[in-house]
Structure 1
Amino acid sequence: MLKTVAVNEAGLRIGEDHPNAELTDAEVERIRSLHEADGMSYSQLAEKFEISKGAVAKICQYKRRAQFAVRVKAVDTR
Structure 2
Amino acid sequence: MAYGSINLAVKAGTVTRVTEFLVVDRPASYNIIMGTPWLNAMRAIPSMYHLCLKFPTPNGVEVIWGNPRVS
Give the TM-score band, short-chain normalised. Answer: under 0.3
Q: Larger relative contact order (C-alpha < 8 A, sep ≥ 6)?
A: 1
* TM-score w.r.t. length of structure 1: 0.22
> Which one has a larger percent helix, Structure 1 or Structure 2?
1
> Which one has a larger percent strand, Structure 1 or Structure 2?
2
* TM-score w.r.t. length of structure 2: 0.23
